[in-house]
Structure 1
């Protein structure tokens, strides 16, 4: 039976690179997990086994580490742009490069009063602890002419202990859920946002500031929205980002509803006045949506928030 080769790509996944920048006695850490995927004139390597157009995946791995030294890591986005440009412009058979990066944050360990007299500061300049918050992510795609940069975060757990209701929904013979007029609203945020920067000659966004400000507006909207549904909160979070960050045209959220159910304490002669909850990890409602700037076209893949 005849067959046709479809979409294909290859590369080295999950290259863990840690870059230490030594600014005198003060050190700075960038901790990345970089995955490279290349595509182009690669039919022969599949159909005949010829490797003439194949850049070894080991070479892509080496390039990641070499570029960490050569260019440093100013931001995940900038580092991914350097890599994508290199693979497409240096290897004629490679027509497109996709770089996916997870970034793990570290924070400085505060010094004790006893130690501070030796270092003369409130923080140790070379000791760090991994932050237990979100993982920053980005995907850079380059085809030799245009860029696509999609950034975001995952595993950011947030909660409102009040100012959330859920009632007035459809009820049928299988509905048992009680209406709630004061509930906990909690979710583990997975978000992606697409930048409208597409040309290397145009002015790039300030990637670091853009990330911090986007996260700030996201969290402010979550905190300030009096919620009647997680869908409503999602829309407010995305709208706040688009209204305040001109460099972003599209936001996609995947928000699992981390349910908290009131525990029935009446068998013990106790009244539960919205104080004691059971935190359920399964099953969970999963709320997903894309919000676009007016006139923009959706381009973030639906499954990207699972990366």
Structure 2
């Protein structure tokens, strides 16, 4: 039986960088978590321990900090592309770079101060970029393999009515009762794939987020699956630069509290919000002409 080295990559995970841009007395904050993974001519380091092909992960971390200073940080998709292309173009042994970024939002506190901020809830903006380079100084760059996936996670939403769940399979272990009026709550994780790498990412993100919220609010839900599809479909119908969206939506169950022992009726007013276990609904919605992207999500 022969033994061979399979697919592999390495990099620096979760480099935290905060960039403060000073515009006189008014400051602007970019707060990121950046993860880099590189792949290429890595056989020798695994098989013999020869590090000649390795760009140290510490150098990758330092590159993030240096680029934050030299180039600033605008849209996270653009910053991720800048980093990914650099690693491939400038390192001959690297043929592919994967850069994933999480952005934590801050809002300015109203008042005279231009440098006071409050964290913007739990929602996190995300970007995932793959690049084979632009054909620069490195030998590995092909310039023809790039993808950009934007998204968000921990977007917590709730409908206090307008949701039903009934007509489901029942077996000997089923205790859940059908309902025509329930609380529907979830924390949305969504990732959407752009058709190209030159989109107006700020505008696209704002519109995709708006569509997700609009569809969640306006869909009379018979299941969380139905709501998921409606949300994805709305994004694709309005954002033609997006060809696919994937969603993961945990069902944050809200159970009616039994108040009868206290002589009280509970007409869908008092609930217990359970954090686990939870139903997890996942799915993707694609345009019928969406190009294949076998590696874009990994």
Q: C-alpha separation between the residues in 2 aligned to 1:301 and 1:180?
A: 41
- For the pair 1:130 / 2:119, whether they are aligned, the reply is yes
- For the pair 1:161 / 2:160, whether they are aligned, the reply is yes
- For the pair 1:288 / 2:288, whether they are aligned, the reply is no
Contact 2:130 2:296 in 1 (8 A): no
1:43-82 mapped onto 2 (5 Å cutoff): 43-82=43-82
Secondary structure at the aligned position of 2:237 is classed as: helix
- Aligned counterpart, 1:275: 269
Shift of 1:282: 1.0
1:17-66 per-position Cα deviation (integer Å, ceiling 9, x unaligned): 11111111111000000011100011111111111111111111111011
Q: C-alpha separation between the residues in 2 aligned to 1:56 and 1:301?
A: 24
Q: C-alpha separation between the residues in 2 aligned to 1:87 and 1:163?
A: 50
- Aligned counterpart, 2:137: none
Secondary structure at the aligned position of 1:77 is classed as: helix
What is the aligned length? 288
Q: C-alpha separation between the residues in 1 aligned to 2:148 and 2:283?
A: 19
- Aligned counterpart, 1:12: 12
- Aligned counterpart, 1:237: 231
Q: Rate the CA distance shift 1:301–1:179 in 2: closer, same or farther, 3 A.
A: farther
- For the pair 1:87 / 2:81, whether they are aligned, the reply is no
- For the pair 1:182 / 2:181, whether they are aligned, the reply is yes
Contact 1:187 1:256 in 2 (8 A): yes
Segments of structure 2 that go 5 or more residues without pairing to the other structure are 134-143
Contact 2:186 2:251 in 1 (8 A): yes
Secondary structure at the aligned position of 2:154 is classed as: strand
Secondary structure at the aligned position of 1:19 is classed as: strand
TM-score scaled by length of structure 1: 0.90
1:111-149 per-position Cα deviation (integer Å, ceiling 9, x unaligned): 2xxxxxxx4xxxx21111111131111110001322111
Contact 1:222 1:237 in 2 (8 A): yes
Q: Rate the CA distance shift 1:146–1:298 in 2: closer, same or farther, 3 A.
A: closer
- Aligned counterpart, 1:201: none
- For the pair 1:3 / 2:3, whether they are aligned, the reply is yes
Q: C-alpha separation between the residues in 1 aligned to 2:181 and 2:292?
A: 35
Shift of 1:173: 2.0
- For the pair 1:248 / 2:242, whether they are aligned, the reply is yes
Q: C-alpha separation between the residues in 1 aligned to 2:224 and 2:294?
A: 21
Q: C-alpha separation between the residues in 2 aligned to 1:234 and 1:160?
A: 14
Contact 1:34 1:99 in 2 (8 A): yes
Shift of 1:298: 5.9
- Aligned counterpart, 2:136: none
Contact 1:103 1:135 in 2 (8 A): yes
TM-score scaled by length of structure 2: 0.93
Contact 2:75 2:201 in 1 (8 A): yes
Q: C-alpha separation between the residues in 1 aligned to 2:233 and 2:160?
A: 23
Shift of 1:301: 7.3
- Aligned counterpart, 2:104: 104
Shift of 1:172: 2.0
- Aligned counterpart, 2:256: 262
Contact 2:19 2:30 in 1 (8 A): yes
Q: C-alpha separation between the residues in 2 aligned to 1:243 and 1:25?
A: 42
